[in-house]
A and B are shown apart, each in its own frame.
Chain A
Amino acid sequence: MTHKIDIKNLNLYYDEFHALKSVNMVVGEKNIIALIGPSGCGKSTLLRTINRMNDLIEGVRITGEVFLDGNNIYDPGMDLYELRKRVGMVFQRPNPFAKSVSENVAFGLRVAQFKNKKKIAEIVERSLRAAGLWDELKDKLNRPALDLPLYQQQRLCIARLLAVEPEVILMDEPCSALDPIATMKIEEMMVELKRNYNIIIVTHNMQQAARVSDLCGYMLLGEMIEFNKTSEIFTNPRDKRTQDYITGRFG
Chain B
Amino acid sequence: MIIRPKYTQVLAVSLLVLATLATLAILVFIIVFVLGKGLPNINAEFLFSNPEDMGRAGGIFPTIVGTVALTLTAICIATPFGVGTAVFLTEYTRESRITRIIRFGADCLAGIPSIIFGLFGFIFFVTYLRMGWSILSGSLTLAFMILPTIIRTSEEAIKSVPYSYREVSFSLGATLWQTVYKVVLPNALPGILTGVMLSVGRSIGETAAIIFTAGSSLRTPHSLFDSVRTMSVHFYILAREGLSNEKAYATATVLIVSILMINLSSYWLMNRFILRKTK
Instruction: Pick from B174-182, B224-232, B259-267 the stretch touching chain A.
Output: B174-182
CB distance from A103 to the nearest CB of B (A): 10
- Establish whether residues A107 and B94, one from each chain, have CB atoms under 8 Å apart when the complex forms: no
CB distance from B182 to the nearest CB of A (A): 7
Residues of chain B within 8 A (CB-CB) of A234 are none
B21 at the interface (CB under 8 A from A): no
- Establish whether residues B168 and A85, one from each chain, have CB atoms under 8 Å apart when the complex forms: no
- Residues A53 and B173 in contact in the complex (CB < 8 Å), given A97-B183, A110-B182, A111-B178: no
A108 at the interface (CB under 8 A from B): yes
Residues of chain B within 8 A (CB-CB) of A192 are none
Residues of chain B within 8 A (CB-CB) of A99 are 186
CB distance from A123 to the nearest CB of B (A): 13
Residues of chain A within 8 A (CB-CB) of B63 are none
Residues of chain A within 8 A (CB-CB) of B187 are 98
A17 at the interface (CB under 8 A from B): no
Residues of chain A within 8 A (CB-CB) of B165 are 95, 97
A121 at the interface (CB under 8 A from B): no
- Establish whether residues A107 and B172, one from each chain, have CB atoms under 8 Å apart when the complex forms: yes
- Establish whether residues A84 and B171, one from each chain, have CB atoms under 8 Å apart when the complex forms: yes
Q: Which residue of the partner chain, among A107, A112, A157, A160, contacts B182 with CB atoms under 8 Å?
A: A107
B4 at the interface (CB under 8 A from A): no
A161 at the interface (CB under 8 A from B): yes
- Establish whether residues A161 and B173, one from each chain, have CB atoms under 8 Å apart when the complex forms: no
Residue in A closest to B174 when the chains form the complex, CB atoms = A111
- Establish whether residues B170 and A108, one from each chain, have CB atoms under 8 Å apart when the complex forms: no
Residues of chain A within 8 A (CB-CB) of B169 are 107, 111
B167 at the interface (CB under 8 A from A): yes
- Establish whether residues A58 and B171, one from each chain, have CB atoms under 8 Å apart when the complex forms: no
- Majority secondary structure, B binding face: helix
CB distance from A73 to the nearest CB of B (A): 14
Residue in B closest to A99 when the chains form the complex, CB atoms = B186
Residue in A closest to B161 when the chains form the complex, CB atoms = A98
B279 at the interface (CB under 8 A from A): yes
CB distance from A2 to the nearest CB of B (A): 23
Residues 201-240 of B, flagged 1 when their CB comes within 8 A of A and 0 if not, give 0000000000000000000000000000000000000000
CB distance from B168 to the nearest CB of A (A): 5
- Establish whether residues B173 and A164, one from each chain, have CB atoms under 8 Å apart when the complex forms: yes
B278 at the interface (CB under 8 A from A): no
A56 at the interface (CB under 8 A from B): yes
Residues 47-64 of A, flagged 1 when their CB comes within 8 A of B and 0 if not, give 000010100101000000
Residues of chain B within 8 A (CB-CB) of A111 are 169, 172-175, 178, 182
Residues 93-111 of A, flagged 1 when their CB comes within 8 A of B and 0 if not, give 1010111000000011011
Residues of chain A within 8 A (CB-CB) of B20 are none
A244 at the interface (CB under 8 A from B): no
- Establish whether residues A164 and B167, one from each chain, have CB atoms under 8 Å apart when the complex forms: no
- Establish whether residues B183 and A161, one from each chain, have CB atoms under 8 Å apart when the complex forms: no
A189 at the interface (CB under 8 A from B): no
How many A residues, CB 8 Å from partner? 26
Residues of chain A within 8 A (CB-CB) of B162 are 95
CB distance from B92 to the nearest CB of A (A): 13
- Establish whether residues A81 and B175, one from each chain, have CB atoms under 8 Å apart when the complex forms: yes
- Establish whether residues B171 and A89, one from each chain, have CB atoms under 8 Å apart when the complex forms: yes
- Residues A95 and B168 in contact in the complex (CB < 8 Å), given A58-B94, A111-B178, A146-B279: yes
Residues of chain B within 8 A (CB-CB) of A164 are 172-173
Residues of chain B within 8 A (CB-CB) of A222 are none
CA distance A108 to B174 in the complex (A): 8
CA distance A89 to B171 in the complex (A): 6
CA distance A247 to B196 in the complex (A): 60
Residues 251-276 of B, flagged 1 when their CB comes within 8 A of A and 0 if not, give 00000000000000000000000001
CA distance A97 to B276 in the complex (A): 13
Residue in A closest to B187 when the chains form the complex, CB atoms = A98
CB distance from B55 to the nearest CB of A (A): 50
Interchain Cβ contacts under 8 Å between A and B, 16 examples = A53-B171, A56-B167, A81-B173, A88-B172, A89-B168, A93-B164, A95-B162, A95-B167, A97-B183, A107-B174, A108-B173, A111-B169, A111-B172, A111-B175, A146-B279, A164-B173
Give B contacts to A, CB under 8 Å: 94, 162, 164-165, 167-175, 178, 182-183, 186-187, 276, 279
Give A contacts to B, CB under 8 Å: 51, 53, 56, 58, 81-82, 84-85, 88-89, 91, 93, 95, 97-99, 107-108, 110-112, 146, 157, 160-161, 164
